[in-house]
Structure formats: structure tokens, C-alpha cells
Structure 1
């Protein structure tokens, strides 16, 4: 099973490295698709679409500032000496590379689930600390896999307690309130289905990552 997962990982890694364009390309493509949809399906003129785009951009300043503050406070917390010392102690727990991968992937998920701003910084620091601790113990590591494991939580943070859209729609007078109303977090973040899925991810993702460890040659 481990060899199959490793082969799949190598295949998709090669495809992504060769063909995945820059994220800004997707931004431009989605903007064009939205504009085309507004003209064809919405019956609006291109000039009207440009007006909507411009007004909508400035209308998102409040949300953008909230996201920026979340990232800034996350960075401040991750850089605090007490937090760094705790991170170093946790990183010293693994005795071999397999345990290090499990810690990196599970730790990444938990940190991102709690606060994506902290996760964006702390998981990278966790990866560095694990690398240092493994070097002290003379344990060989596969650094690309360790880095990937450390950032796996970034794919699950939106189910966590800092999920931007869930918190946004739970806020009174948000910009979509006329369409969907106010949706409490009990129906999103703390809904039983969301919690169960998150727990399954916490269990399955580290196991899959563990089986991706390459054979020593």
C-alpha cells in the first residue's frame, strides 16, 4: 500500500510542477469567466460589469482588513518566545522520521483548525524545529515530504473555528444577509457532520502521509 501511495504522490507532484500555472493566472481567468457570465447570462454591458467589479472591490475592505488582522495576530503569536519554546518541545517528541511525519501532519491540522493565521506561520516553524531535532538525533529525513506534511492543515482550515465564510455569514448585516440571512456557527463550524468529517481528516491524513515515506536506498 505504501508503494502505491508513494507512486501516486510522485505522479501528481510531477504533473503539478510541470503544468500548474501561477495563482494569479487563475485570478485573471475567474475574473474573465465572471465577467462573461454577467454579460451573457445577466444581460449586463461590459461597462456595467466593470462598475460592479470596482464597487465590489472596495466593498470588501472590511472583510479584507479582518483577514489581514487574523494573519498579523497569528504571526505575532507564533513569534512569541513562549510559543516558540513550546513548539520546540513538541518538535523534540518524535524518535524517528515516521513519528516526525505524523506529528507534522497532525499538528498542522490542529493548528490550522484553531486559527488559520497562526497555522500559516506556526506550521512552517514546526517543520523547521522538527528538522533541527531530527538532525540532533542523527535521524535522516525526507525534507520535501516533511514540508508537505507540515502544510496539509491549510487544506482543512475552513472547517475550523476561524473559517472566514462561516464567521462572516454568522455576523449580523453581512453583505449577503439579504440572500441567505444570518447563519449561526451551530449550523456550520459546530454542526455534527462538520465535526465528524474534521475528526476523520485528523485520523486519515497523517496515516496517508506516513505511507508516503520513501524507502531508504
Structure 2
């Protein structure tokens, strides 16, 4: 493709694309305008974290907490989440490593050959994204992105590359938090990952009381079916599809340069011997854990979960050198987690530790506010709306839960609402703003070679449908569950 042709194509798609956008209809035009607004006015997510620190500090001072108490709480609590921060970073790294392994690449090639039309290809990518995100959101995001790129390389069908990219993102914007890599559910199931203040409020909540509730499984299934249907209906037909080539994206499959052994010391880097030893050790330990304990409890341990994916990634790459190269490529995607989670821990400490003269904390006052605003019948709806709104400004499932959980779960106890379902209310509602906030799109955009505005146009249509659907189902299912007091370890 000539440089002039590529320039003209980009002009059609990025500077209005009046003809095609007009044929795409009202929803596409509205969504693309919203995408332009988000890209122009939304700062980096780290700025939102800093704003949240300032708001929490000022609110605590207004409440009557001494300035020294606010400063001490923030500084002491800043490091409370270091173990959990490392755990969540490893979720991203191990998921990426597995998704980019040679066996996974072969599976992607075979899957990419299955769809028969451009629109079915988009819905197929959406299905894969949603299903894989239930296992590991990092894996699902990368795997679906590579699948979208592989489908776009096909010459026998015409696929709208924007719609395919948006479909690859639906796992993060749909049901990832209802799966086993859910930050909030993992956190609540692991007492060593909880702050002391939160543990005293919630106790330990196992997976069977969160993601394995039948209400949660039905909710995930409904969201999956609806998301795939919308992906199919909103994808442009082949006549109006904007291809990767028209967007100026180079789809040439780049073959990684294989390093060769250059010195005797390199031998072990290219030998599978040590990989096999590590895999056998992990497999033996896991078999014993599953044989002696409840499988649900075993898999809900975030350390076990990460160790399993780490060993799987090593096996799939086979040689330590290939594994290390994949890890190096994955690390940049963890930067937001590594720098922002400590700030979220500091915010949570201000909320739960800085006390006013009468002994009240900010978390206690917010909890009372939720209780006053809600009734047992409306609590799920109020919490869902609040969590979704806050998610626009703090796009982090685990970090935001640390901030919200002390007062949300305290209010849940006061309202006698099912604690596990309150976690799931948070999980389902927290995923909604991901459909329009580009923070978690960054790893995917790097794979696809696109900008956020290309994807948000389609994910915004999903958001408009998901918002009333998810909130309504959260409210409906809340009435089917009874309250159980916290269980402390």
C-alpha cells in the first residue's frame, strides 16, 4: 500500500469518515463522538489516583481529623498492599506469557480460520474474549487481541478491524470480574491479602459465596450472550467495514529473532531440563493440595493461581530463554498496577484510620450515608451505581475495592445484605466503565496498532445496553440471597 493511499485511508476514518459513518447509523456516530471526548479530556489514570488522594485527605480534614493523623495514615498505609500489588502484577505477566506461547499461537491460527463472514468473525472474537477472561483477564485480553489480528490477516473475508478490536476487549468490559481472576473476590478469599481493618468488617469470603453463586454464574452467562449479540449486530457489514489496511495498520506477522547459543553458559537457557524440573515440583504440590483440600478453596488462593499459570507459561514456552523474553514483553503492561496500587492503599488508610475528635472515620460516615440512602430493596442498586461511577475515575478492580470495601461492606452488614453478593455487585458494576475508559485498553492497543477512539465507538454501544441490564439483574438477584454474618479466620 502506497504512503499516499494510506494517508487517504486514515483521513477517511480518523477525520470524520462522513460517508461510512453516516451509513453506520446513529449509534456509531454518537459513540465515535463520545470516544473523541474521552481521548481529548481524560487524563492518565494515575492523575485520577492523585486526585483521589487529595479528595480523601481534604474530606478527612473537613471531618475534623488532625492533619498529622491524615499524613500518618496515608504514609503508614501506603505499603499495606505490596503483596497484593505483586500478586496482581503476576496475573498480568503470567496471562501474557501463556497467551504468547508457541502452542497458543498455533491455536490462534486455527481459531482465526473458523469464521465465514466478517460479522461472525467479530462475534466469534467477542465469545473467545469473554470466555478466556473468566479464567485470567490478562490472558484473555492478549489472546483475543492476537486472535483479532490473525482474523484481520485473512484475505477471504472482510472484517471491520475497529469492531474486531472492540470485541477483543469485551472480556475486560464485561465479565472478567465474575471469573476466578477477580481482584475483589480473590482479595476477600485470602485473609493475608486483606488489610486488618477490612478483615475485621468482612471476614473471609470464599469463592462459593462470590463467583460460584448460581446468581453470579447466571449473570455472567446473560452478559456473555448479550455482549456477543451486540457485537454481531453493531459490526459493519463487509461493504462498509473499515479494514486494518485502510486504518494504516501493518498486519505483517513479525517472526521473533531466535537467539542462538553463543557460549557454554547459554546451554541451560535453551534447554528444557530446568523447566521440566520446576513443572514437576509445581504439579506434585498442586496434586497434593487438590487431593487434601477443597478445590474451590485451593484455586481461590491467589498465590496458587499465579503459581499454576507461571508453571504453565514455562511449559508452553519450553525453554527458559523463550519464557524470559515473554516476561520482558509483559512487564510494561504492569506499570499502572505497580505505581497506582500503593496510592490506593494510602487512600484506604486515610478512610479507615484518620479519626475525628469524636472517634469517627471517613469510611464510617460514608457507610452511614449509604445506609441512610438505601433500603434493603434498593441497596444493590445504590452500590452498583456508585461503584460504576467511581470506576470512571479509578479504573482498577483491586485497588478501587480496597478504597470502597471498608464502607461498602460495613453498610452491607448494617443493611443485612449478603456479603458475597455485595462483592459481586461491585465486580459486575466495576466492569461497566471499562467499556468507555481507555486505561485497560492500553495493552490491547499496542497489539492491534490502534488508538482508543477506534475501539470506544463500539464498546460505548455495549455500555449503553449493559448499564441498565447489569444494574437491573444485580437488584433482582439480591432479593434471592440471605445475609450471613462475617466469618473470621
Q: TM-score, normalised by structure 2?
A: 0.41
Q: Which position in structure 2 is the counterpart of 1:177?
A: 199
The aligned runs of 1:1-217 (5 Å cut-off) are 3-41=25-63, 43-132=64-153, 134=154, 136-137=155-156, 139-155=157-173, 156-173=175-192, 174-175=194-195, 176-214=198-236, 216-217=239-240
**Higher mean C-alpha displacement, 63-72 vs 16-25:** 16-25
Superposed CA deviations along residues 158-213 of structure 1, whole A, max 9, x for unmatched, are: 11111011011111343221111111111111111211111011100111122222
Superposed CA deviations along residues 2-61 of structure 1, whole A, max 9, x for unmatched, are: 8454344334323323333322222122121221222223x3233332322222221111
SS at match of 1:44: coil
Separation in 2 of the partners of 1:143 and 1:81?
A: 24
| Conserved? CA contact 2:137–2:172, under 8 Å | yes
**Higher mean C-alpha displacement, 104-113 vs 23-32:** 23-32
Separation in 1 of the partners of 2:87 and 2:46?
A: 22
Larger Rg: 2
Instruction: List structure 1 segments (4+ residues) > 6 angstroms apart after TM superposition.
Output: none
Superposed CA deviations along residues 61-112 of structure 1, whole A, max 9, x for unmatched, are: 1001111111121122112111111122112111111011101111111111
Uncovered stretches (5+) of structure 1, i.e. residues with no partner: none
Separation in 2 of the partners of 1:146 and 1:50?
A: 47
| Conserved? CA contact 1:5–1:211, under 8 Å | no
Separation in 1 of the partners of 2:213 and 2:74?
A: 34
Separation in 2 of the partners of 1:58 and 1:92?
A: 48
| Conserved? CA contact 2:119–2:159, under 8 Å | no
Separation in 2 of the partners of 1:153 and 1:8?
A: 23
Separation in 1 of the partners of 2:53 and 2:35?
A: 27
SS at match of 1:93: coil
Q: RMSD between aligned alpha carbons?
A: 1.9
Q: Whose relative contact order is higher, 1 or 2, with alpha carbons under 8 Å and at least 6 apart?
A: 2
Paired residues, number: 212
**Higher mean C-alpha displacement, 4-13 vs 171-180:** 4-13
Q: TM-score, normalised by structure 1?
A: 0.89
Separation in 1 of the partners of 2:186 and 2:112?
A: 31
Superposed CA deviations along residues 139-172 of structure 1, whole A, max 9, x for unmatched, are: 2222122111111111221111110110111113
Separation in 2 of the partners of 1:70 and 1:97?
A: 32
Uncovered stretches (5+) of structure 2, i.e. residues with no partner: 1-23, 241-489
